[in-house]
Structure 1
Amino acid sequence: MEAANKKILIVDDEQPIRTLLDYNLRQSNYDTVSAADGEEAIYKAEEEKPDLILLDVMLPKIDGMEVCKTLRKKGIETPIIMLTAKGDELDKVLGLEIGADDYMTKPFSPREVLARIKAVLRRSRSEADSSEEDQVLSSGTLTVHPQQYVAYLDGKELEFTPKEFELLAYFMQNKNNVLSRDQLLSAVWNYDFVGDTRIVDVHVSHLREKIEEDTKKPIYIKTVRGIGYKFEESKGK
């Protein structure tokens, strides 16, 4: 019942993989649409308005990374699970950095795919169904509106990827608390990356570039050597 009326866009240039995923998703009561290249993926994402996208990295015409980046630039926040045959850690970091919600390396079992889809959709639904009033988070001249997904610095709206925004909001909800990298991975990415915490460092670096006057002397996000980071309360810049 949980999958009823949920539409999944399957993007892969290999017909056997599309067929396998399509069969297993439909068996689990999902609706499906598919695309075989990057251009078709962008078109289907806009026209079909799926609830989640399974997106292969290696695609003809436009690769999966560019597809993900393009969709996010267009303001399409549909959850994306990246699929790839590569085992390169850099690919995983890059995929998540540009806005993907999860990442799976081929070969994978249909059961694992279904479990990941269920987890990502559950998280997305809980965020969308939240009825709490927008709690404004502020520190110095930095203001964040978690429910509206907007942030301002010195009155000017900032641009973040979804994960950058979620990380910043989590930092500000835990001001002055030391947060380990593993804790941040669990809270923001909701997935166990088996100790690979470089994705946190990448996102923190990007956040600093956007909110700090001097990234080498940050006033907001401080590094706690050997542990992680701490967002310090600031009364002014």
Structure 2
Amino acid sequence: MKNLVDATKSDHRSDGRFVLLVVDDDENVGDELVRQLAGHRVRAHHFPHAAEALLSAGALQPDAAVVAAGLATMSSTELVRVLAGRASIPTVVGVGDDDGVTAVAALKAGATACVRRPYRVEEVVPILRAIRPDTTGTLDPPIELGGLRVDPATFEVTLRGTPVALPLKEFKLLYFFMAHADRMVTREQLLSAVWNGSSADNSNTLTVHIKRLRQRLTLDRSQPPIIVTVRGLGYRFVPPAMVASSAQS
């Protein structure tokens, strides 16, 4: 299997998307996971039969696999052993309340992690991100609020149709702000999200980056700032459309 995977490398993943095998005999559960992950730009392929998944693994070159515990078409533990052990494909096992024994066996067989089944996309995506960190941006969907749009896959920002060039740190700040729009976020949360921690030096750097970000996002200086300081607490991001409406009222 490992040789088969290596021998069939192609450019079918040139868009950088995460490729995932989903092996689950329940077509509704498997298809729903595929549908939800599509919103995170994960190229997921559902196979109700384990044999079909194994045959397709070489052509798809998956970054990981999600395997349901208690498969009818093949022992879940054995499938994990083949995918993770022989093909070096990180494998996550979907488990229910009664699958404790299977979960333990799958982890011993080489599974990377277990996740609750039926699947919740907010629990699956962080595991995929940890498996392939370089896809962090591609796993996050674009956000558009009012006239402002950010796309983490391409690092593109547009404000009312006008491209805005942002350095990486400022882009990460903006994306975090937009993901938490109209909610107060602390300096500690921002430092953790963008600088992976906090320190006195980074705190001063945060202030500078937010000042620059405000300047880059200001098209009309008569408008209130998009990033509002909540004195003594942190910051609040007010989407452009809401800024415009509040200014008119």
State TM-score, norm by structure 2. 0.44
State TM-score, norm by structure 1. 0.46
Normalized per residue, the structure richer in helix is: 2
Q: Which is greater in Rg?
A: 2
